[in-house]
Each structure stands twice: as C-alpha cells, then as structure tokens.
Amino acid sequence: MSGRTAAERVALARHPGRPGTADYIAALCTDFFEQKGDRQCREDPAILGGVALFHGRPVTVLGHRKGKNLEENLKCNFGMPGPEGYRKARRMMEQAEKFRRPIFTFLDTPGAYPGVEAEARGQGEAIARNLAVMSALTVPVICVVTGEGNSGGALAIGVGNTVLMLENAVYSVLSPEGFASILWKDAARAEEACGIMKLTAEDLLAAGVIDGILPEPEGGAHTAPQSVFRTVDEALCRALEGWKRQSGSFLAAQRYKKFRAMGDPAGKRERA
C-alpha cells in the first residue's frame, strides 16, 4: 500500500473521475432495474438503486450518486441525499428482505444535505429509521465505501454484515471542512483536520469499524477502473459466499453484535 497522506487520500476519494455507484452497478451487475421514489413525496437522485443480477443471482444494489458532469451533479445534489433518498433506500432494503435478496450498498457522499426542506421533512428521522431497520435485516448486507463516506449521511446505508473500504476511500464522522469549522471555527484548516481525523481505510481497520481494505491501482481507482471493478466483484463474491448459508436470524444477530461492540470504552473490566 502506497504511503499517501490522509489529505492526499481525501483528494483521491473525491476525484471527479473516480468510479461511482452507477459505474459499479453497470460493471458488476446485469439486467439492472432502477427503482425510483420514496412513495411519499419525491424521487431523490442522490441515491441510486434497484434490482439487478449479480453473477446471475438477484440482488438489491444501491448507493450514493454524485453524477458525472455538472448537470448531473446539480441533479444529484452532489451526492447529498435528502430524507426522500434515505426513505427510498429503506423501501428498497425492506423489499430486498421480502424477496430474500442480498443487499449491496456503495457509500460515497459529502454528507446528508443540510437544507430547509430536508429538515422540514425529517432528515434526522429518515436516517435514524434506516439505521434501525438495517440493523435487523434478515438478508446479507455488504457495504463498500467507494469514495468519501461522511457523517450520518453515509452510515444511513452502511449498517452491513461486512463493511469494506477501497484503499483510498475515506470514512469519517464529518467532512474535514466541517470538522475544522466545528473544532476550530475555520474550514480552511481542513488539510490539518485530515491528519488527525483517522479517516483512512487503515485507521478504520485498526479501529475495528471495517472488515477489509480493497487495493486500488497505483494512481487511484480512476486510473484503471476495470481492475477496481474486478477487485470489488471478487470481494463481494467472497463476502456473499460467507453469508449465504446463514439463517436470517444469524445475519441480524451478527450485524447487531458487530455494531454493538464498537467503541465500548469500558471494555471487559467495568462490564464485569
């Protein structure tokens, strides 16, 4: 693994040419049928998802969508979903459970959208409900952080049995700009924030938050997307192979235990 700084990885994770959810779905799946709308108020293109075949087997795939050019960026709100996007994701995941399909999610967002309408329609409630529902799903859930996974806006589709990260992807409580602005009231110190935020794949593996790191080509995922697709394809196959023989209740229990164990500051000593 190359010795890049955290700030360099953040830049790579945000590279405009970096493969996104739409690319992964196109490369890894066939017969994709996109599902739109939250059935309550709106279609939110910042989340892309639907049903597809993965090696001939039906799966539900979904992820954040940033768009490939300015027009698409604007339409997708630069990958920042509103509550409608999260509710659409929940609808797809509940259907996946109903039809016993495994779920793949791809995380790549600057965060949930901070806007007046998003708040009026319950951004917090939408994310909270996703976390609760995902935690108890009885089908395999495999998540891949492909770009930048920022804040609750990323985690809202990230409660998986297996959580993987691309080598140059980052995953953190907030964007480095937001972090710097909260801690030091100065968003311009974002690069400094990157250094202390522990947001690289290696940091997260060490903290027990992710299960594995997927290597990228030397120059980053955008320099040789085909090889990244192969890597992700193999990783998804491997993870799925491990979960497919498990019962629904085992899968829900495994996911619960996994997240239950994160950040117990007491450890065993005070628990006893």
Partner 1 sequence: MNGVFAKRRQHLLALKAMRDGQSSHLARSAPCPRCGETVPRRELVQARHVCPKCGYHYPIGAYHRLSLLLDAGSFRELDERLTSRDPFHFPGYAGKLDESRARTGLSEAVVTAVGAVEGRKTAVGVLDSRFFMGSMSAAVGEKVTRLIEYAGKNKLPLILFSASGGARMQEGILSLMQMAKTAAALERFSRKGGFYISVLTDPTTGGVTASFASLGDITLAEPGALVGFAGPRVIQQTIGQTLPEGFQRAEYLEEHGFVDAVVPRAQMRETLARLLKLHGKGEKP
Interface positions with partner 1 (CB under 8 A): 112-116, 118-125, 127-129, 131-136, 151-152, 155-156, 158-159, 171-174, 178-179, 182-183, 196-199, 203-204, 207, 209, 255-256, 259-260, 262-266, 270
Residue at token pair 């993870």: 239
Q: Whose Cβ is closer to partner 1: residue 241's or residue 266's?
A: 266
Q: Whose Cβ is closer to partner 1: residue 58's or residue 122's?
A: 122
111 neighbors 153 (Cβ within 8 angstroms)? yes
DSSP string, 140-154: -EEEEEEEEEEHHHH
Query: By three-state DSSP, how is residue 223 classified?
Result: helix
Q: At closest approach, how far in Å is the CB of 225 from partner 1? A: 27
Q: Whose Cβ is closer to partner 1: residue 65's or residue 121's?
A: 121
Q: At closest approach, how far in Å is the CB of 126 from partner 1? A: 8
Q: At closest approach, how far in Å is the CB of 128 from partner 1? A: 4
Percentages (nearest 5) of helix, strand, coil residues in the chain: 50, 20, 35
Q: At closest approach, how far in Å is the CB of 153 from partner 1? A: 9
DSSP string, 92-134: HHHHHHHTT--EEEEEEES-S---HHHHHTTHHHHHHHHHHHH
Q: Whose Cβ is closer to partner 1: residue 115's or residue 219's?
A: 115
222 neighbors 19 (Cβ within 8 angstroms)? yes
Q: Whose Cβ is closer to partner 1: residue 26's or residue 41's?
A: 41
Q: At closest approach, how far in Å is the CB of 204 from partner 1? A: 6
- Per DSSP bridges, beta strands 141-150 and 57-64 are unpaired
